[in-house]
Structure 1
Amino acid sequence: MTKKYDAIVIGAGHNGLISAIQLAEKGWKVLVLEKSSKPGGASKSGEVTEPGYVHDVYAMNIGLFLGSQFYQKYEEEMQRFGFEPVVNDKPYASVFPDDTGIGAYQNRKEMFKSLAYHSTDDTYAWKDLSHYYDQTTPHFMPLMQMELPSYEAWKHVMKSMKQLKLNGLMELGSHLLQSPREFVDHWFESDKVKAMVAPWGLHLDFGPDVSNGAVFPFLESILNQRNGMAFSKGGIQNMIESMVKMLEIRLGEIRTEASVERVLVESGQAYGVVLENGEEIIAEKAVIGNVTPTQMVNRLLDEKEVPDHYLQEADSYRYGPATMMIHLSLDEPLQWKAGEKYSEFAYVHIGPYVEDLARTYTQAMNGELPDSPLLIVGQPDVMDETRSPEGKSTLWIQVRALPSHVKKDSLNEIEADDWSNIKEAYADRVIEKLAAYTHNSKRAIRKRTVLSPADLEEDNPNLVGGDSVSGSHHLFQNYVFRPVPGYSRYKTPIDRLYMVGAATWPGGGLNGTSGWLLADKL
């Protein structure tokens, strides 16, 4: 007998789960289908190196999630079901080849002291930037939790125009359209202070010279400095599992290792799905894909069912540069040459400078293995003692940015090949870079697990080419243009078929917005 539900959600990423929970709370009968053996999408954790060492496999920073509408409503329930945020008041730092560093502190006095060590003028610049943040973010940050375009967003923009006046609005637009390099050059004089802020752009795909790339460094540098860096105690999987329990207590269902082969469509309307095992499941009100547009049109839909204009736009959806993840279990915490205090920061960026980030980004976009990629070194043990045995350490390294398909090596040391054949060799280069900034990294390593860009996509089809944020955030494919022009409000041309997730507005990061907004209007 064919099973029937009100809604079927394809993919158990956090946005898919948020939609499912909200719809189940409305009384809908909801089923979530997840290809992987674990729910979570890019939010998974596990003992990927050896027993006793818990790693967040991909995403780790949950700061955006803590500010989401979903968490504001369900904070108490999530914590009752096992989710516990932990926050470090030393959120991020950058280290340099001369064995110095600079760190961001939640404590204002420590923050200004850190800046003043490198530039007295930049302490005043940081105050000015923080003041500008307070003046302007009420006018554009709320848009990141609204549908675009929408009447609500239009009213907000009109209100901002009235308050900021035309000149203020033009000035804000000019700042937000800057590249990360232009942004830091505008505000700061010290190359090291600039290098503390600019790497946040490459957490997405904003190389130093990409227009509109200033937005993420602007927001993340101030938000994380003020709020501290937040992780999920015991691993990000605990956040996901608490959401699964919330769904189940509302009588929703979730099935893992259940890969959807195609969406069923008749007369321009979605009415269910077929699994790879041939099972057919009916959805009487909605099918929601926590997927990218290329997956939707190339894997889940018959091309004959998709209007030509949407098919062309979805086929042209562009992915950003790739990511490698390296997970290490250590016999002891890292000892940074820049000083003991850097072992206390949640994230340490090793660029080291803005020009290095620019070279890395260009190399990756040209299909070259970068000679010295950006390392985002996560040290979760500093805020969560459950991640590793006493006295030991768990290390999380995100390597940005890399080519999805390798044409050559910038150093001519590694032969161009599939990632499966060269990932360990490239990981060796990463470890060498880490060793140049630490006293003990090589001797402290117990085990390592390397996930190449190809491994990322194999585990999660949303991470096409190893793009960890499911699609470029450049201006042509962001805001009202995400995922494709004309379909930024989570609908598709197929009636009752919707999309949520990082490929939709407001894009990558654990923001929970698309899942919330879609469920709110269904």
Structure 2
Amino acid sequence: MPDATFDAIIIGAGHNGMALAAYLAKAGLSVGVFEKRTEEGGGLCTEELTRPGFLHNVHANYHTLVGICPVYDDLELITRHGLRYVQPPVQMASVFKDGSALVVHTDLNKTCDSIARFSRKDADTFHAVYEEARGYRDLILRTLMYSPPTSIKDITKALVTWGVEEKSKYLSVHLRHQTINEFLDHHFENDRVKAHLSFHAALAGYATDRRGLAVSFPLLLSKIDNWHICIGGSHALAHSLWEALAQAGGRVFLNHGVEKILVENGKAVGVRLEDGSEVRARHLVASSISLEQTFLQMVGAENLPAPLAAEVKSFPHMDSTFFSVHLAMTAKPAYRAAAFDPDVNQAWVVNLGYENQKQFNDDWRDLRGGKLLDPRPNAAVNSLYDPTDAPDGFYTGLLRQMAPYNLASGGPAAWDKISREYGQRCIDVWKEAAPNLSDSTFLDWATYSPLDITRRMRNMVQADWIGGLIDLGNMLDHRPGPILSEYRTPIGNLYMCGATQHPHGFVTFAPAYNALEIIAHDQHVERWWK
């Protein structure tokens, strides 16, 4: 492209980069977003992986902060830019070997009735945790997620000020010393109830055996029924962001990868693109991509202070990721467990295989050792609630299985050899739970391995879809390290706004929203948002 100049340059057109760009453009800045791939949205990609007309969400399928995250309202994504969601009334189920099932509804009483079939005590406890956490959810999320990170000490003071600690039985900063397993064992009694709640945490990237993560678990439970399907596929969210940005005057340049961040006198002044052209920034450059690409490749060793280089090189990535199977189907699943609870056939997401905490603990250990797990996937059929994602009378299916990126036997490259066989094993587990499914039910299916993730999404280092390990040592003001925890960098006018930053990845928009606050302060941007 010809050399150009913008007030702000954003590297990466994922949902965080696009959101930050839209906010800045609406504030009156000229903004250019530069993206290496051929489409905007990053993990918000929807493709016809199997057959024409079958839409598969390759990465982000579950949107759990709709109605909570301020970005949707601020950018008018739903009210003005055509974004549509549906919240399935039957959200999730776990089916078990004996044909029973635990079902989560948007109706809390129905959920508790389902839990009560396993344990009346656990149903009462779940109701109490849910209501208690829900009462503080918006306050705490706005403080912990949609604000620049604070220390655990400051959180303790805040909880005391709000009276949360003295009023609450389940919300406590002291949970930072506990694993989710310990929280569940202390408050719940039934193995299958605990297995179901553990699966909910695992799908959000929270390992149930990792110390300190119990501090976030009540909040995870408070939005267990807030899962939304993006109508037309997750890329519809990316498109609505693009429209909001375009109408505010911002520009997105696809197939324009950034090769170098230009640094002069200790400040970021622009970028050099892969075609050799240079784009200058009057005020700031913000990167929504990985630490490794931003600093080790684009900033370069000549501009990188040694402490920052060490922080980037030691940044911990997730020790598990996902292996997926995408299916074009002639029928929706009819589960054996529907004889126990007919609502299971209307559940958007169904967990297959986990019966107790020991199975989870064994799998966490094996994942960290690079072992291939016996499949216990979760299955999602978006077509139950989104008629646009498959031709009339057909269905789109998704199986998602926890998996290591670096296999102990053969490393990442081994995924190319074993993916088809492993995908068939995942399908077989689904067929066992839903006997109406047979080979003839599946018109076509495609695997998407951890190695495929890194090939398609360079930003997801080691197939790390959440942008860095979720661990108490890598949260709040410790994420991604003491130097970069405030979204600023030691390079003047260079900011970080992606999944590596507090709080983490997933479709939260929080890294961009929080970086915006820092940028607005530093660059004297007039705040038009609430």
Give the alignment's TM-score, normalised by structure 2: 0.91
Please point out which of 263, 266, 269 is paired with 1:265.
263
Please point out which of 345, 348, 351 is paired with 1:349.
351
Question: What SS class does the counterpart of residue 82 from structure 2 fall into?
Answer: coil
The 8 Å contact of residues 160 and 166 in structure 2, kept in 1 or not, is answered as no
Q: Which residue of 1 aligns with 2:409?
A: 408
Runs of 5+ in structure 1 lacking a partner? Answer: 410-414
In the aligned structure 2, how far is the partner of 1:244 from the partner of 1:198?
36
Once the two structures are superposed, residues 246-296 of structure 1 have per-residue CA deviations (whole angstroms, 9 ceiling, x without a partner) of 111111110112211121112211111111221211112111111121222
Give the length in aligned residue pairs: 510
Q: Which residue of 2 aligns with 1:194?
A: 194
**Partner AA of 1:203 in structure 2:** L
In the aligned structure 1, how far is the partner of 2:476 from the partner of 2:428?
39
Q: Which residue of 2 aligns with 1:386?
A: 388
1:218 correspondence with 2:229:
no
User: Could you say what the CA RMSD is over the residues aligned between the two structures, in angstroms?
Assistant: 2.3
Q: Please report how far the alpha carbon of residue 70 of structure 1 lies from its aligned counterpart in structure 2 after TM superposition.
A: 1.2
Q: Which residue of 2 aligns with 1:325?
A: 324
**Aligned ranges 1:331-370 → 2 under 5 Å:** 331-339=330-338, 340-353=342-355, 354-370=357-373
Q: Which residue of 2 aligns with 1:412?
A: none
Q: Which residue of 2 aligns with 1:36?
A: 37
The 8 Å contact of residues 139 and 160 in structure 1, kept in 2 or not, is answered as no
Q: Which residue of 2 aligns with 1:375?
A: 377
Q: Which residue of 2 aligns with 1:418?
A: 414
In the aligned structure 2, how far is the partner of 1:36 from the partner of 1:452?
19
Q: Which residue of 2 aligns with 1:185?
A: 185
**Aligned ranges 1:356-505 → 2 under 5 Å:** 356-372=359-375, 374-400=376-402, 402-408=403-409, 418-443=414-439, 444-505=441-502
Please point out which of 497, 509, 512 is paired with 2:509.
512
Question: What SS class does the counterpart of residue 228 from structure 2 fall into?
Answer: strand
Question: What SS class does the counterpart of residue 123 from structure 1 fall into?
Answer: helix
Bigger CA drift: 276-285 or 133-142? 133-142
Q: Which residue of 1 aligns with 2:25?
A: 24
In the aligned structure 2, how far is the partner of 1:242 from the partner of 1:86?
16
Question: What SS class does the counterpart of residue 21 from structure 1 fall into?
Answer: helix
1:309/1:497 CA distance change after superposition, 3 Å: same
Once the two structures are superposed, residues 151-184 of structure 1 have per-residue CA deviations (whole angstroms, 9 ceiling, x without a partner) of xx99876443134277669970223542121122
Question: What SS class does the counterpart of residue 392 from structure 2 fall into?
Answer: coil
In the aligned structure 2, how far is the partner of 1:65 from the partner of 1:397?
23
**Partner AA of 1:425 in structure 2:** E
Question: What SS class does the counterpart of residue 175 from structure 1 fall into?
Answer: helix
**Aligned ranges 1:51-130 → 2 under 5 Å:** 51-75=52-76, 77-130=77-130
In the aligned structure 1, how far is the partner of 2:136 from the partner of 2:30?
42
Once the two structures are superposed, residues 451-478 of structure 1 have per-residue CA deviations (whole angstroms, 9 ceiling, x without a partner) of 1111111111121111221210111111
The 8 Å contact of residues 94 and 350 in structure 1, kept in 2 or not, is answered as yes
Q: Please report how far the alpha carbon of residue 65 of structure 1 lies from its aligned counterpart in structure 2 after TM superposition.
A: 4.3
Q: Please report how far the alpha carbon of residue 348 of structure 1 lies from its aligned counterpart in structure 2 after TM superposition.
A: 1.2
**Partner AA of 2:128 in structure 1:** D
In the aligned structure 2, how far is the partner of 1:36 from the partner of 1:342?
39
Q: Which residue of 2 aligns with 1:239?
A: 237
The 8 Å contact of residues 108 and 127 in structure 2, kept in 1 or not, is answered as no
Q: Please report how far the alpha carbon of residue 138 of structure 1 lies from its aligned counterpart in structure 2 after TM superposition.
A: 5.6
Q: Which residue of 1 aligns with 2:524?
A: none
Q: Please report how far the alpha carbon of residue 88 of structure 1 lies from its aligned counterpart in structure 2 after TM superposition.
A: 0.7
The 8 Å contact of residues 176 and 215 in structure 1, kept in 2 or not, is answered as yes
The 8 Å contact of residues 204 and 473 in structure 1, kept in 2 or not, is answered as no
**Partner AA of 1:345 in structure 2:** A
Bigger CA drift: 134-143 or 104-113? 134-143
Q: After TM superposition, which residue ranges in structure 1, 4 or more long, deviate above 6 angstroms?
A: 153-156, 168-171
1:172/1:215 CA distance change after superposition, 3 Å: closer
Q: Please report how far the alpha carbon of residue 216 of structure 1 lies from its aligned counterpart in structure 2 after TM superposition.
A: 5.1
Q: Which residue of 2 aligns with 1:316?
A: 314
The 8 Å contact of residues 129 and 187 in structure 1, kept in 2 or not, is answered as no
In the aligned structure 2, how far is the partner of 1:197 from the partner of 1:3?
51
The 8 Å contact of residues 103 and 343 in structure 2, kept in 1 or not, is answered as no
Bigger CA drift: 16-25 or 348-357? 348-357
Percent of residue pairs bearing the same amino acid type: 25
1:19/1:133 CA distance change after superposition, 3 Å: same
The 8 Å contact of residues 199 and 351 in structure 1, kept in 2 or not, is answered as no
In the aligned structure 2, how far is the partner of 1:511 from the partner of 1:244?
17
The 8 Å contact of residues 322 and 404 in structure 1, kept in 2 or not, is answered as yes
Q: Which residue of 1 aligns with 2:228?
A: 230
Once the two structures are superposed, residues 192-219 of structure 1 have per-residue CA deviations (whole angstroms, 9 ceiling, x without a partner) of 1111211122224432211123355432
The 8 Å contact of residues 149 and 488 in structure 1, kept in 2 or not, is answered as no
**Partner AA of 1:144 in structure 2:** M
Question: What SS class does the counterpart of residue 7 from structure 1 fall into?
Answer: strand
In the aligned structure 2, how far is the partner of 1:64 from the partner of 1:176?
23
1:442/1:489 CA distance change after superposition, 3 Å: farther
**Partner AA of 2:324 in structure 1:** M
Q: Please report how far the alpha carbon of residue 66 of structure 1 lies from its aligned counterpart in structure 2 after TM superposition.
A: 3.4
In the aligned structure 2, how far is the partner of 1:165 from the partner of 1:121?
24
Once the two structures are superposed, residues 412-460 of structure 1 have per-residue CA deviations (whole angstroms, 9 ceiling, x without a partner) of xxx9952222221221221222222121333311111111111111111
Once the two structures are superposed, residues 89-129 of structure 1 have per-residue CA deviations (whole angstroms, 9 ceiling, x without a partner) of 11111111122210111223322221111111212111221
In the aligned structure 2, how far is the partner of 1:291 from the partner of 1:316?
17
The 8 Å contact of residues 148 and 489 in structure 1, kept in 2 or not, is answered as yes
Question: What SS class does the counterpart of residue 260 from structure 2 fall into?
Answer: strand
The 8 Å contact of residues 405 and 412 in structure 2, kept in 1 or not, is answered as no
Question: What SS class does the counterpart of residue 511 from structure 1 fall into?
Answer: coil
1:278/1:504 CA distance change after superposition, 3 Å: same
**Partner AA of 1:419 in structure 2:** W
The 8 Å contact of residues 270 and 494 in structure 1, kept in 2 or not, is answered as yes
1:442/1:177 CA distance change after superposition, 3 Å: farther
The 8 Å contact of residues 262 and 273 in structure 1, kept in 2 or not, is answered as yes
The 8 Å contact of residues 165 and 172 in structure 2, kept in 1 or not, is answered as no
In the aligned structure 2, how far is the partner of 1:381 from the partner of 1:205?
25
Question: What SS class does the counterpart of residue 92 from structure 1 fall into?
Answer: strand
1:73/1:54 CA distance change after superposition, 3 Å: same
Bigger CA drift: 163-172 or 131-140? 163-172
In the aligned structure 1, how far is the partner of 2:241 from the partner of 2:162?
39
**Partner AA of 1:355 in structure 2:** K
